[in-house]
Amino acid sequence: MTEGVPHGGHWPGPAWLITLALLFSGVIIAGQQYGPKVIVTSDQVAAAVANSPLNPSLQQYAATIGQLAINVESGGNLGIYNGTCCTGVLQMNTAGVEKYCKCEPMQYANLPLQQQVNYWAQLTNANANNSIVRGLMQMSSFGGQPVDGAMILSCIQIGPGNCAKTLAAGTCATGAGADGNGNNFCDFAASIRGGSAASSPSNGAASGTGTATGTASGAGTAPVATVWTPVSAAAAFYNGAGVDMTAVHDAVTDFIAVAAMLWAAWVAQAQYFCYRRGSINLLTLKTNLIASTVLTMLILVITLT
């Protein structure tokens, strides 16, 4: 047996390399902190909302937005990413970040509080006239609940697309339009009013800004919260799969790149030990190494472009 070759001359197969690639990819996917862990208070968030370009009719709910940012969305963490779609103190969806900040989530996570809230405010203002929301505002009640500020906010918070599914079902007792935690917009309305707590919406939209007593009526004067209205392929993918398309693309790309490099390393080691055993000559070793390197580079180029 040639010295240095384990297992009676047989180099182990690529299973351990694939395992390493999976572990490496898992680390990438699991990353949560995109920026420095700067923690702000609800009063600081409320002050930033008051100083933002948010519609004046909504700025009166600044204190509530501050409380919900801390208690529901991010715990006041400016640099947090939820692992699937959303970033920052008010958990803006990746598509919303790209549209209004014109930056990547990691860049957004490094912005100071006021800038994050300013982009959030632009997103809120842009969704104030959504047709699904306007239709709900014309109702006096739905599913046995009053159509008040809490319900209007929850409709926007969970996403007009999901809200429309629940409305189409005609009842609050349905899984249609529910988020990844099984909550529909009726559940979020109950939570805002001070009822049973619902989990934060899976699309990472900013929390509703209604008061616990429901200050808005069904006549259409309810305050409007923020969520990105699905209009793109990325939004359609997220609504169907529950995972941000960019995050999936990045994870798959990272996995393929790592797997390709580990495969190339395994081939090189295997060829070297074949040469050490005398199974191949030096010319064949060089030829095989060049071929495997070229193939690996092609895989990386195709994957990363």
For residue 102, what pLDDT is reported?
A: 94
Task: Show the CA angle centred on residue 163, arms to residues 148 and 226, nearest 5°.
Answer: 70
Asked if residue 70 and residue 18 are part of one domain, the reply reads no
87 close to 115: Cβ distance less than 8 angstroms: no
SS3 77: strand
* Residue 190: inside a domain: no
**Does 88 lie in the same domain as 17?**
no
Q: Are residues 37 and 122 in the same domain?
A: yes
CA–CA–CA angle 122, 125, 126 (5° rounding): 85
Q: What's the pLDDT score for residue 97?
A: 93
In tens digits, what is the pLDDT along the chain, a chain of 305 residues? 444 444 444 444 445 444 544 444 444 344 478 888 899 998 999 999 899 998 786 677 777 777 767 776 788 999 999 887 889 998 888 888 999 999 999 999 999 999 999 998 898 777 767 888 788 888 999 999 888 766 776 787 677 888 999 999 999 999 898 877 788 889 877 766 664 334 443 333 333 333 223 333 333 333 333 333 333 455 555 555 555 666 677 778 778 888 888 888 888 888 888 888 888 898 888 888 898 888 888 887 887 66
**Residue 72 to residue 192: CA distance in whole angstroms:** 11
DSSP helix/strand/coil, 161 = helix
- Cα 167 from Cα 163, distance rounded (Å): 6
pLDDT score for 72: 67
- Beta strand ranges found along 119-258 (DSSP E): 141-142, 145-146
Which of 74, 105, 128 lies at the terminal end of a domain, its last residue? 128
Please tell me whether residues 64 and 24 are part of one structural domain. no
Has residue 47 been placed in a domain?
yes
Q: Which tokens hold the place of 84? A: 């699937």
Q: Report if residue 144 sits inside a domain.
A: no
Domain shared by 71 and 14, yes or no: no
Residue 287 lies in a domain: yes
- Judged by DSSP in three states, 35 sits in coil
Rg (CA), the chain: 26
Q: Which amino acid is at 115?
A: Q
Q: Which residues, at least 6 apart from 117, have a Cβ–Cβ distance to it below 8 Å? A: 45, 48, 49, 51, 52, 89, 90
d(Cα 264, Cα 253) in Å, to the nearest integer?
Answer: 17
Answer yes or no: do 22 and 95 share one domain: no
- Please tell me the predicted confidence (pLDDT) of residue 237: 58
The helix (run of H) or strand (run of E) holding residue 275 is helix 245-277
Look at residues 97, 128, 159 and tell me which one is the last residue of a structural domain.
128
- Residue-level pLDDT at 300: 78
* Pair 82, 21 in one domain: no
Residue 183 lies in a domain: no
Domain final residue pick, 128, 143, 160: 128
Same domain, 16 and 69: no
Query: Are 76 and 42 in the same domain?
Result: yes
Same domain, 42 and 99: yes
Cα 163 to Cα 67: distance, rounded to the nearest angstrom: 23
11 and 45 share one domain: no
**Whether 34 contacts 81, CB under 8 Å:** yes
Residue 137 lies in a domain: no
**Quick check: is 215 in a domain?**
no
pLDDT at 243: 56
Task: Read off the tokens for 256.
Answer: 């393929």
Query: Are residues 116 and 64 located together in one domain of the fold?
Result: yes
How many domains does the chain divide into? 2
Question: Is 204 a member of any domain?
Answer: no
Structural domain containing residue 37:
33-128
The answer to whether the CB of 165 falls within 8 A of the CB of 199 is no
**What's the distance, CA 197 to chain centroid?**
22
